[in-house]
A and B are shown apart, each in its own frame.
Chain A
Amino acid sequence: DVKVTQSSRYLVKRTGEKVFLECVQDMDHENMFWYRQDPGLGLRLIYFSYDVKMKEKGDIPEGYSVSREKKERFSLILESASTNQTSMYLCASSYIGQPQHFGDGTRLSIL
C-alpha cells in the first residue's frame, strides 16, 4: 500500500512565523502535490512538483513556497504565516497519469 506521511496532524503557529509542512511518500512517485482544504471551497492546489527540484504553481500559490530536494519528500513553506492561512493542508503523490494518493492532512492554526 502507498504511504503518504505528513509530519504533523495538528500544528499551531503564530502570525509572522515561518512554517514548514513536510510530506514523505514511499512509492517512488514522480508527482507530488500540496492542497489546502477549506469548508465550502473544496480542495485547491497550491503547488505541485513532477520531479526533484522542479515545481509548478497551482491555483493559489501566493504566500507559499515549496522545496523538493529528494524524490520522496515535498515540503510546503509558509514564508510569513498569516491568519488566513489557517486551514487543512493535504499532500498527495502519484505516478504520471495515475490517481493521486493522499496523506491524512495537517490541520494548521495560525494565531
Chain B
Amino acid sequence: GDSVTQMEGPVTLSEEACLTINCTYTATGYPSLFWYVQYPGEGLQLLLKATKADDKGSNKGFEATYRKETTSFHLEKGSVQVSDSAVYFCALSDRWGSQGNLIFGKGTKLSVKP
C-alpha cells in the first residue's frame, strides 16, 4: 500500500541555520503531496502542498518540490527561526480518491535554539 517515510528526529538547529527534512513516498497512481506543521499544543496546519510532478510548494519561507523520479518531497528552509520549532509531517493523498484520505509520515520534531 501507499506509504510515507520521513527522516527521524529530533532535529536541533541554531537560529538562521539551513533546514532539510527528507521525505520519500511509495504510491500507486499520482498522489498529491503535503507538508503539515504542528506547533506545541495545537492541531496540524497545512504548510504547503504540490499536486503534480515538478510542482514546488512554498509558504512562510519553506519550500518543497515534488520529484517523481526520486519519489521525494523534501522540506527546505534557508534560515530557520526559533518560532519554526514544531513537528513536521509529510503526507500524501491519492489525487484521484474521492475521499482525499491522507497517509502521514511519523513526523519530525524540529527544535531551533537562539
Which residues of A come within 8 Å of B, CB atoms?
4, 31, 33, 40-43, 45, 48, 50, 56, 58, 90, 92, 94-105
Task: Tell yes or no: B73 within 8 A of A by CB.
Answer: no
Within 8 Å by CB of B43, from A58, A99, A104, lies A104
A selection of 11 A-B contacts at a CB cut-off of 8 Å is A31-B99, A41-B106, A42-B89, A42-B105, A42-B106, A43-B104, A58-B101, A92-B44, A98-B100, A102-B44, A105-B43
Bound CA–CA A101/B43 (angstroms): 9
Q: Compute how far the CA of A10 lies from the CA of B64 in the bound complex, rounded to whole angstroms.
A: 34
How many Cβ-Cβ contacts under 8 Å join chain A to chain B?
56
Q: Which residues of B contact A41 (CB under 8 A)?
A: 106
Q: Which residues of A contact B98 (CB under 8 A)?
A: 50, 96-97
Chain B contact residues: over half helix, strand or loop, or mixed?
loop
Q: A99-B34, A102-B45, A104-B43 are in contact. Are A42 and B104 (CB under 8 A)?
A: yes
Shortest Cβ distance from B45 into A: residue: A102
Q: Which of B36, B43, B98, B99 has the most CB of A within 10 A?
A: B43
Assess the A31–B107 pair: CB atoms within 8 A.
no
Among B36, B97, B101, the one with the most A-chain Cβ atoms within 10 Å of its Cβ is: B101
* Pairwise interchain contact A103-B43, C-beta atoms closer than 8 A: yes
Residues of chain B contacted by A58 (CB below 8 angstroms): 101
A103–B38 alpha-carbon span in the complex (Å): 11
Interface residues of B in 46-74 (CB under 8 A from A): 46, 49
Enumerate chain A residues within 8 angstroms of B44, measured Cβ to Cβ: 43, 90, 92, 102
Known: A40-B106, A45-B101. A99 touches B49 (CB 8 A): yes
